[in-house]
Structure 1
Amino acid sequence: MLLRPRQKLFVERSVSALDEHGNALGVAPTGAGKTIMLSAVAGNMVGDTDAKACVLAHRDELTGQNRSKFSRVNPGLSTSVVDAQQKSWAGQVTFAMVPTLTRAAKLDNLPVLDLLVIDEAHHAAADSYRRIIDKALDLNPDCRVFGVTATPTRGDKKGLRPVFSNVSDQIRIGELISAGHLVPPRTFVVDVGVQGDLGRVRKTVADFDMGEVDAIMNRAPVTDAVISRWREKAGDRQTVVFCSTVDHARNVATAFNAAGVPTGLIYGDMGEAARKTVLADYDAGKLQVVVNVAVLTEGWDHPPTSCVVLLRPSSFKSTMMQMVGRGLRTVDPEEYPGVLKTDCIVLDFGTSTLLHGSLEHDVDLDGREGTGEAPTKECPDCEATVPLAVMECPLCGHLWERDDAEGASDLSDFVMSEIDLLKRSSFRWCDLFGDDAALMAGGFVAWGGVFFLNGRWYGIGGRQKEQPRLLAVGERTVCLAAADDWLNTHESDESAHKTRRWLNQPPSQKQLQYLPAEYRQDFGLTRYQASALLSFRFNRNAIRSLVFGADNGGRTVRNADAIRRAA
């Protein structure tokens, strides 16, 4: 498989930092493909050598997922597993469960490692992880330590500086939005008469005092106003609500239900079976709203969620971004048929947006993709080397003050820059009919296409001897990103062949044989364009069926020219 261009840059910067410092932390939000990138880093460091690596995870399902994706990125490297069931170090790369490996008897069997990779690396400050890290470095002081996380700031305020001396790269949410891998947020700061009181809430070591927040927010008139504004802005959307305390969350859930909105409640001390039931009902659409207290902040994703309600402030921007991030996932139309999601509404009834600036301000690409080394600065508190754009140190939590001029821009004047995926893609995309309404690209075994109909774009992917599948519906960039990822998954560097000279040669006689007569007279037609047209013709009926079937339950078709052509 292939990596996205931004993933390749992340890998290059991480490998460079490991070579320079012996350790590195990479920060990337949900949707960036952390497992793919850590797999590429590990493969780069140990491939074509006799070096040995270990990838740590804290849950069984992560160990299995990591191993599976690693093998797709590095098919030539052997792997093994150390967990509750298996205890094998036979592979060049071993995937280990931390709760298993941290036990003294198991840790004594740790072999000499050349690379230790830590998934969800914000856990690296925990004692169990430190025992493994220290043991690996005792056995080999030159062992490199690489961590990847979306959420470097820990609730217990233990910094990651004792493990990592630098942040090799940080992919920002804005980059993923601009590239079509996440949907954009639309943030509304709503004052229901309590912002002045919230502004006076004291900070504790960990965050704002949630007891004081509860006293302000956990009142019936405030909750009624919240529900009223929610109905006005996002009443038809599946919604996740973040509250200050369990009592606050319970009262908010009760009020939503009393208002006729099916709502579930999730909190920390809730039994696992009950929690799973609530989340399953929400996933099935039986519940429209799920209210929680610090449980769904990370590690939970439900792509159809398209509204996030903040009923508590956050003293750290990273926490706010984690909460908002629950609503930014794009939707797979095969997993959630009929669900159209083009953005996420964020209703902030607290002060987080005023304190930190809306997420929209983070969509600032400073030269867009960039190449080579990331511009860096030194954290004044922990002296770590971090990317220049970082406003909160991932290693110690130091906050840089935002320039007043930077934070004063009106959100209504903000225009998000779209990265041109057609240029950045590893594949050559063809405009089939010259009107930018139908584009296709292909490799040796797969093809991807995006098609415009009735104001929406549809991303479709196909493989040899398989029925095409619908990948995305909505914005052009999201559909292009989904189709490009489909090609990345099923093709390789060799089959991408974007710059191969033969692509520009005239079509072969066999290609012309299957094309309509008018194309045989097109002397500017290239072999690759002919290949794209043939892929379209051979799959035309399936493409039409997928696009028309997803077109809002069979709306009247108005602009279907691009799909009907080449008949």
Structure 2
Amino acid sequence: MSGLFDAQVTGDRSQQRYAPRCYQADAIEKTFQLWATHCGVMVRLATGMGKTATASFIADEWLKLGCQHHVMVLVHETQLVSQWKREIRKYTGATVAIEQANSKVSGIVLPRVVVASRASLLERTVLGEDGESHTVSRLHKFDPSLNWLVIVDEAHRYSRRLTTCGHVFEHFERNPDHRRLGLSATPERGDGVSLEDLFGGVAADITMVKAVHEGFAVPFDQRYIKVESVDFRNLHEVAGDFSDGELGVVLSEQKALQSMCIPMLDKVGDRRNLIFCPTVENAKLVTAFLNARCGKMAARTLSGTDSPEVRERVFGDHHRGIFQHLAVCGLCREGYDDPGLRAVTIFRPTKSRTLAEQMRGRGCRPLPGIVDGLDTADQRRAAIAASDKPDCLIVDLVGATSLEPCGSTVEIYADGKPDEVIARATQIVEAGETDVIKAIDRAEDEIANEKRKERLEAALEAARKVTADMRRRARIQANVQYSEFQVNQGHGLGQVSERAKEWAANVVMPFGKFKGERLGDRPDWHLKYLSQKMPNTKIGRAAATELAGRSSV
């Protein structure tokens, strides 16, 4: 986890004291505040923001509360156990034990910190000497009467309903003073099950887009590969996502491999590249294609079936640049730390936003030391822009039949924004815009302008209707007024009311040579002309009334 903290040397230069970043310090303080009312608290930090370190700082504060306070870290992937042990020991200085496979906590004195794989704590049914079946678990070694802090790595993988972990939470819940801390960059489960019953409070919620904006993560440079020849229409779904096996078959055909790999090579250039594949076989075929085209040392394959020793060796070779392309299946989505990675290729389309963010997030870490010690977001963004890794190239599939809707880079950056913004921004990116944030901003501006124009047109139409209605009412009112004071006015016979006289005399000529003059100031011949030429208009009726009024005097 290099490059995640500001290190201050105190005393001996070999001893370093690490200080949390501003958002980590806020998360630490908020966590302890929430524990006053919640047993479980969630810390959401985007990939590369230092979840492990933040949890280590919190664990350190917990251990300081007294010798009865212990820490249990639950890790779901075995390869992350050693990483957690190394990191938490670095920031707490505590003795850290491992509970995994043949590594077992033993002895009279219980270590202050234990890192355990979820599999090692499973309940198992065994046949006892009495011939009866018994349920056993390694959990019995961890006295629940102690004040345990249970740190749950990648908390979105856990649920009280799961038989693989529900009993673990129940074990520690025997002590009401225990606490839980959930960590995740993507705290949403694919099955829709809520995590609120385990983690009722939220101490931090730093999304990928916020991490980029604050200068703690590098921006994505989004590129697309068009694969019109690939048809996804007949793919089945498993738990709401594409079937990995069927994806592998579709994407392993020679024509598909060519349409994906050749443009990928052109876009990636000399960047070190991590390629996500749907199946082990597909990853091997991608590797074989790249090696045949670029040389046998260009690419390698790793999967969950490889031993930890093999993975460590291949990861190390990739970090050192011995080969450029690493094609993986079932690995690197979580807990993979490689700040020097400059390209991520997604050959594993997904409908899961969580999985999409996990894959893309592998490349978002800045180079070590680039942003440490800088106080403002502007300074950090400028430092990233001037570094050897100003962004991370994301190569994505687009144009495949029935590929939409898929978890996409736009969806990740547009977290919480309306679907219409995501759809418009996706169109903008597919048209060639490589800056996803600019695409989203442009989409929001375009949609806002369109809605503003629609509102203006609606307001103008409403105003036109109101004006037309007012004119209609004015005509009706004029007719009523005229009928009221038109009393036997024809040719001077009868009397015209004073009100009618006053009204007619004050009517103003609206047009012609005498525009603006009162009818009361016009000669008889002009009034007679107006009343005869325009008898059914306001001016004609007023002229007739004025003329009749004069005749009655």
TM-score by length of 1: 0.57
Partner residue, 1:403: 419
Are residues 1:225 and 2:266 paired? no
Partner residue, 2:326: 290
1:142 CA drift (Å) = 4.1
Are residues 1:65 and 2:100 paired? no
1:134 CA drift (Å) = 0.9
1:256 CA drift (Å) = 0.9
Q: Which amino acid aligns with 1:294?
A: G
Secondary structure at 1:190 match in 2: strand
Instruction: Work out which of the residue numbers 393, 401, 406 in structure 2 matches 1:345.
Output: 393
Q: Contact 1:23/1:144 (CA < 8 Å) preserved in 2?
A: yes
Partner residue, 1:176: 211
Partner residue, 1:557: none
Q: Contact 1:15/1:45 (CA < 8 Å) preserved in 2?
A: no
Secondary structure at 1:112 match in 2: coil
**Structure 1 residues 112 and 241, CA, compared in 2 at 3 Å: closer, same or farther?**
same
Partner residue, 1:246: 280
Secondary structure at 2:73 match in 1: strand
Q: Which amino acid aligns with 1:326?
A: R
Q: Which amino acid aligns with 1:189?
A: Y
Partner residue, 1:475: none
**Structure 1 residues 292 and 256, CA, compared in 2 at 3 Å: closer, same or farther?**
same
1:236 CA drift (Å) = 1.4
Instruction: Work out which of the residue numbers 24, 40, 51 in structure 2 matches 1:23.
Output: 40
Q: Which amino acid aligns with 1:245?
A: T
Aligned-pair Cα RMSD in Å = 3.7
Secondary structure at 1:326 match in 2: helix
Q: Distance in 1 between matches of 2:97 and 2:305?
A: 32
Partner residue, 1:33: 50
Partner residue, 2:474: none
Partner residue, 2:228: 193
Secondary structure at 1:31 match in 2: coil
Higher relative helix content: 2
Instruction: Work out which of the residue numbers 324, 332, 335 in structure 1 matches 2:368.
Output: 332
1:264 CA drift (Å) = 0.8
The count of corresponding residues between Structure 1 and Structure 2 is 372
1:111 CA drift (Å) = 4.1
Q: Distance in 2 between matches of 1:85 and 1:205?
A: 35
Partner residue, 1:216: 250
1:187 CA drift (Å) = 1.1
Are residues 1:112 and 2:112 paired? no
Q: Contact 2:42/2:182 (CA < 8 Å) preserved in 1?
A: yes
Q: Contact 2:318/2:324 (CA < 8 Å) preserved in 1?
A: yes
Instruction: Work out which of the residue numbers 4, 17, 22 in structure 2 matches 1:5.
Output: 22
Instruction: Work out which of the residue numbers 289, 300, 305 in structure 1 matches 2:336.
Output: 300
Q: Distance in 1 between matches of 2:438 and 2:29?
A: 27
Bigger CA drift: 261-270 or 232-241? 261-270
Q: Distance in 1 between matches of 2:180 and 2:392?
A: 36
Partner residue, 1:359: 409
Q: Distance in 2 between matches of 1:131 and 1:330?
A: 39
Q: Contact 1:249/1:265 (CA < 8 Å) preserved in 2?
A: yes
Are residues 1:235 and 2:269 paired? yes
1:67 CA drift (Å) = 3.3
1:250 CA drift (Å) = 2.1
Q: Distance in 1 between matches of 2:223 and 2:236?
A: 24
Are residues 1:132 and 2:182 paired? no
1:240 CA drift (Å) = 1.4
**Structure 1 residues 159 and 4, CA, compared in 2 at 3 Å: closer, same or farther?**
same
Q: Which amino acid aligns with 1:56?
A: V
Q: Contact 1:42/1:115 (CA < 8 Å) preserved in 2?
A: no
Q: Distance in 2 between matches of 1:299 and 1:124?
A: 16
Q: Distance in 2 between matches of 1:294 and 1:245?
A: 8
User: What residue ranges of structure 2 are gaps of 5+ in the alignment?
Assistant: 1-17, 123-135, 371-386, 440-553
Q: Which amino acid aligns with 1:281?
A: D
- Structure showing greater radius of gyration is 2
User: What residue ranges of structure 1 are gaps of 5+ in the alignment?
Assistant: 73-77, 365-388, 392-400, 418-567
Q: Contact 1:81/1:95 (CA < 8 Å) preserved in 2?
A: yes
Q: Which amino acid aligns with 1:64?
A: K
1:41 CA drift (Å) = 3.1
Partner residue, 2:456: none
Q: Distance in 2 between matches of 1:119 and 1:246?
A: 29
Partner residue, 1:54: 71
Q: Distance in 2 between matches of 1:100 and 1:210?
A: 27
Q: Distance in 2 between matches of 1:205 and 1:192?
A: 25
**Structure 1 residues 362 and 213, CA, compared in 2 at 3 Å: closer, same or farther?**
closer
Q: Contact 2:45/2:185 (CA < 8 Å) preserved in 1?
A: yes
Bigger CA drift: 6-15 or 91-100? 91-100
1:323 CA drift (Å) = 1.0
Q: Distance in 2 between matches of 1:312 and 1:344?
A: 18
1:279 CA drift (Å) = 3.0
Q: Contact 1:18/1:146 (CA < 8 Å) preserved in 2?
A: no
